[in-house]
């Protein structure tokens, strides 16, 4: 038996400002730090020893995990992977979601956010928000850095990394992953065998640990959000 804990980072500065963030490396706000602290406390109550910690390359996920580890008094080395990054929103990056609804129409923005394989137009490589111009990604191979992504693109990179680097560890280890709404959405699609319509409806709350329990054959036994007051419908279980 083993556990996988998925945590979407706590609320970020741009979450609060309702902006498309994607690969821009913004930090947590005060509420996000409080959410991360509560996440750590909720995990601690479960008395689960975490063997391996994973995070995306992004500050909001790294700092969420740092706060969780402080609450657990556990400072094991964290493995950071750009493959666990948030989805790249292309030309929408940095823009306000409500303003874009007025400009493009609510339906179009919804399609950009939740359709399976629709990519927003690419972000200009000279834009300061492009990952090529953000120091966080200086060690990511240039050919791997996207200009835009669909949820399908995000799914493919996340699940490739999960399958090659994380999945087999679950046979005898407890793992915590600190990542993002769309990278966790991709993991849930894979783990719970959700179809493309179901994945578009799946909401991932910030800073609320999703605890998934596996048997010795890596089959899911049950799952739950640890903060029941902010839980979302998992569409399964």
**Active-site annotation, residues:** 9, 86
Q: Where are the beta strands (DSSP E) in 35-161?
A: 52-55, 78-80
Element of type H or E holding 224: strand 220-225
Nearest to 7 by CA among 31, 30, 37, 29: 37
| CA-wise closest residue to 81 among 193, 205, 164 | 164
How many degrees, rounded to 5, is the angle at CA 61 between CA 11 and CA 225?
65
- What are the residues whose beta carbons fall under 8 Å from the beta carbon of 195, sequence distance 6 or more? none
* DSSP SS3 for 51: coil
The structure tokens listed for 206 are 């910030």
SS3 (DSSP) at 53:
strand
* Residue 42 CB coordination number (10 Å): 21
Dihedral sign for Cα atoms in the order 187, 129, 67, 12: negative
What the block records as the tokens of 56 is: 């995306």
């Amino acid at each position: 038996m083993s556990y996988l804990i998925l945590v979407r980072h706590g609320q970020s500065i741009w979450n609060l400002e309702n902006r498309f963030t994607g690969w821009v490396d913004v930090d947590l706000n005060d509420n996000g730090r409080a959410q991360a602290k509560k996440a750590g406390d909720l995990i601690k109550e479960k008395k689960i020893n975490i063997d391996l910690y994973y995070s995306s390359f992004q500050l909001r996920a790294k700092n969420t995990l740092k706060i969780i580890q402080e609450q657990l008094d556990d400072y094991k080395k964290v493995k950071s992977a750009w493959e666990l990054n948030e989805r790249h929103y292309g030309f929408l990056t940095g823009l306000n979601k409500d303003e874009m609804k007025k400009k493009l129409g609510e339906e179009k923005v919804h399609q950009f956010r939740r359709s399976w394989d629709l990519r927003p137009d690419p972000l200009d490589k000279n834009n300061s928000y492009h990952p090529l111009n953000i120091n966080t990604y200086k060690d990511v191979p240039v050919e791997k850095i996207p200009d835009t992504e669909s949820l399908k693109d995000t799914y493919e990179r996340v699940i490739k990394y999960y399958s090659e680097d994380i999945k087999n560890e679950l046979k005898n280890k407890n793992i915590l992953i600190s990542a993002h709404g769309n990278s966790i959405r991709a993991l849930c699609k894979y783990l719970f065998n959700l179809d493309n319509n179901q994945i578009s409806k799946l909401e991932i709350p910030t800073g609320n640990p999703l605890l998934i329990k596996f048997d010795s054959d890596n089959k899911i036994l049950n799952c739950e959000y640890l903060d029941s007051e902010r839980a979302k419908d998992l569409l399964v279980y």
